[in-house]
């Protein structure tokens, strides 16, 4: 009888990598060059253990079966997605939100909701951060209300985001006054955990959205869309396809924020640059 220990010795062949990586790219858009083989092998070993399979050949066969495809795809996606994020990541975006976008909205609005979408929100730092900056800007001004839609493809990361609990290390970039205002400290002082306060959590609505879906189940149009450090995992045609779909949900004059290592150059999209990674959607003709 093969022992579960053998899973640790299991190796992913180039052929099985080819099969699995094609499925991943087709279903998520995420590029999977051969250089990612070691990473995929390491991350999928947990799945072999969970399924009591002893080789990647068996795993690949399972994924290709109708039952395996419907149940395992979600786990494969959780295993391959890169969820690196931070509070106040790329802080100039939050400055622009506070100093330009929100004052302009306040000036022109007559009591509408300010709607923001954090698309590819990972473990929640970005959408909670957006909500905190808006709340802090409004300082109890009741002229406008707001909400943040937050979405990701990975169900595992969405569970963490909804939980809204962060370690002391994770909240280091948060200014002290915001930490006091927007986080509750764990009662057990040994734990050093911080939970986002209900007033902020209630403003953020999470859902699972895959950018590869033909249409996003998002009924509203937004004033601002953050889609940062997600496009980088896709090839250029997929990037353009994703941004075009996101733009259907952005109001004319609305803002799109992308990550600092991403670019929309030569994509011929109805956008005008405001900063290198910040754009406004052109008014419709
Ligand atoms: C590196 S994180 C970026 C998080 C945050 N936006 C930031 O800038 O800190 C990228 C996120 O994109 C998500 N993602 C990858 N492919 C996706 C897809 N096809 N649809 C939706 N989200 C996707 C991943 O699950 C991951 O959480």
Rounded Cα distance between 32 and 119, Å, is: 21
Residue 168, pLDDT score: 95
Residue 144, pLDDT score: 86
Predicted confidence at residue 219, as pLDDT, reads 87
Check which CATH number belongs to the domain holding 111 and give it. Answer: 3.40.50.150
CA nearest to 135, candidates 220, 226, 201: 201
Q: Which pLDDT score, from 0 to 100, does residue 7 have? A: 64
Is 152 a pocket residue for ligand 1 (Cβ < 6 Å)? yes
**Tokens, residue 66:** 């109708």
- Strand ranges across the sheet with 193-196: 165-167, 193-196, 183-185
Q: Is the CB of 230 under 6 A from ligand 1?
A: yes
Shared domain check, 107 and 199: yes
Q: Are residues 199 and 59 in the same domain?
A: no
81 Cα–ligand 1 center, Å: 7
**CATH number reported for the structural domain that contains residue 72 in this entry:** 1.10.155.10
Residue-range definition of the domain harbouring residue 73: 4-80
What separation in Å is there between the alpha carbon of 157 and the centre of ligand 1?
10
Q: Is residue 85 part of a domain?
A: no
Asked whether residue 235 falls in the same domain as residue 142, the answer is yes
- At residue 264, the 3 state secondary structure works out as coil
Closest by alpha carbon to 227, among 195, 271, 194? 271
Cβ partners under 8 Å of residue 205, min gap 6: 147, 148, 149, 150
Catalytic residue among 16, 78, 135, 152: 152
Identify the pLDDT of residue 111.
79
Same domain, 95 and 76: no
Judgement on whether residues 71 and 201 belong to the same structural domain of the protein: no
Of 17, 51, 80, which residue constitutes the final position of a domain?
A: 80
> Which of 45, 80, 115 represents a domain boundary (last residue)?
80
Ligand 1 centre distance from Cα of residue 21 (Å)? 18
Ligand 1 pocket check: which of 81, 88, 89 to mutate, most ligand atoms within 8 Å of Cβ?
81
Write down the pLDDT at residue 130.
98
Does 200 share its domain with 264? yes
The confidence score (pLDDT) of residue 241 equals: 97
Tell me which long-range contacts 174-178 makes (C-beta under 8 A, separation of at least 24): 174/87, 174/88, 174/132, 178/132, 178/136
43 is a catalytic site residue: yes
User: Do residues 220 and 245 both lie within one domain?
Assistant: yes
Q: Check pocket membership of 126 for ligand 1, CB cut-off 6 A.
A: yes
Q: Does residue 86 fall inside a structural domain?
A: no
Residue 117 CA, ligand 1 centroid: distance in Å: 13
Q: In this structure, what is the dihedral angle of CA atoms 94, 96, 97, 102, given to the nearest 10 degrees? A: 150
Residue the block writes with tokens 């909205």: 105
Residue located nearest, by CA, to atom 17 of ligand 1: 153
Does one domain contain both 147 and 38? no
Mean pLDDT by 10 residues, the chain (285 residues): 62 96 96 94 93 94 94 91 95 97 91 94 98 92 88 96 97 98 88 95 97 91 97 96 97 97 96 96 83
Read off the tokens for 75.
């786990």
Q: Which residues contact 199 (CB under 8 A, 6 or more apart)?
A: 135
DSSP string, 168-237: TTTTTTS-HHHHHHHEEE-SSTTT-EEEE-HHHHTTEEEEE--TTSSS----S-EEEEEE-SSGGGS-HH
Closest CA to 44 of 15, 24, 28, 67: 24
- Residue 99 alpha carbon to ligand 1 centre in Å: 26
137 with 232, same domain?
A: yes
Q: Is 129 touching ligand 1 by the criterion CB < 6 Å?
A: no
- Residues with Cβ within 8 Å of residue 75, at least 6 apart in sequence: 47, 50
| Number of domains within the chain | 2
Ligand 1: which of 122, 162, 166, 213 to mutate, judged by most atoms within 8 Å of the beta carbon? 122
Residue 179 lies in a domain: yes
14 and 106 part of one domain: no
Q: Is 235 a catalytic residue?
A: no
The pLDDT score that the predictor gives to residue 159 is 97
118 and 68 part of one domain: no
Q: What is the pLDDT, as a whole number, of residue 61?
A: 97
* pLDDT for position 3: 55
List, for residues 132-188, the tens digit of each pLDDT value: 999 999 987 777 899 999 999 999 999 999 999 999 999 999 999 999 999 999 887
Answer with the one of 25, 56, 80 that is the final residue of a domain.
80
208 lies in a domain?
yes
> 97 and 44 share a domain?
no
């Amino acid at each position: 009888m093969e022992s579960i220990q053998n899973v640790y010795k299991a190796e992913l062949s180039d052929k099985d990598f080819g099969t699995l990586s094609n499925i991943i790219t087709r279903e998520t858009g995420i590029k999977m060059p051969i250089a990612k083989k070691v990473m995929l092998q390491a991350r999928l070993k947990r799945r072999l253990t969970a399924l009591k399979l002893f080789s990647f050949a068996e795993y690949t066969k399972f994924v290709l079966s109708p039952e395996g495809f419907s149940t395992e795809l979600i786990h494969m996606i959780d295993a391959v997605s890169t969820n690196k994020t931070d509070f106040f990541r790329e802080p100039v975006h939050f400055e622009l939100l506070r100093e330009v976008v929100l004052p302009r909205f306040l000036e022109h609005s007559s009591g509408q909701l300010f709607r923001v979408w954090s698309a590819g929100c990972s473990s929640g730092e970005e959408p909670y951060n957006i909500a905190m900056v808006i709340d802090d800007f409004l300082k109890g001004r009741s002229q406008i209300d707001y909400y943040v839609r937050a979405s990701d493809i990975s169900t595992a990361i969405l569970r963490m985001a909804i939980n809204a609990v962060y370690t002391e290390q994770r909240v280091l970039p948060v200014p002290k006054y915001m930490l006091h205002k927007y986080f509750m400290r764990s009662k057990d002082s040994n734990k050093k955990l911080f939970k986002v306060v209900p007033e902020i959590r209630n403003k953020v609505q999470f859902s699972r959205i895959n950018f590869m879906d033909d249409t996003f189940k998002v009924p509203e149009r937004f004033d601002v869309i953050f889609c940062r450090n997600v496009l980088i995992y896709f090839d250029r045609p997929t990037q353009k396809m994703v941004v075009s779909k996101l733009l259907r949900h952005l109001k004319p004059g609305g803002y799109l924020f992308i990550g600092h290592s991403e670019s929309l150059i030569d994509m011929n999209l109805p956008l005008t640059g405001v900063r290198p990674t910040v754009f406004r959607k052109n008014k419709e003709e």
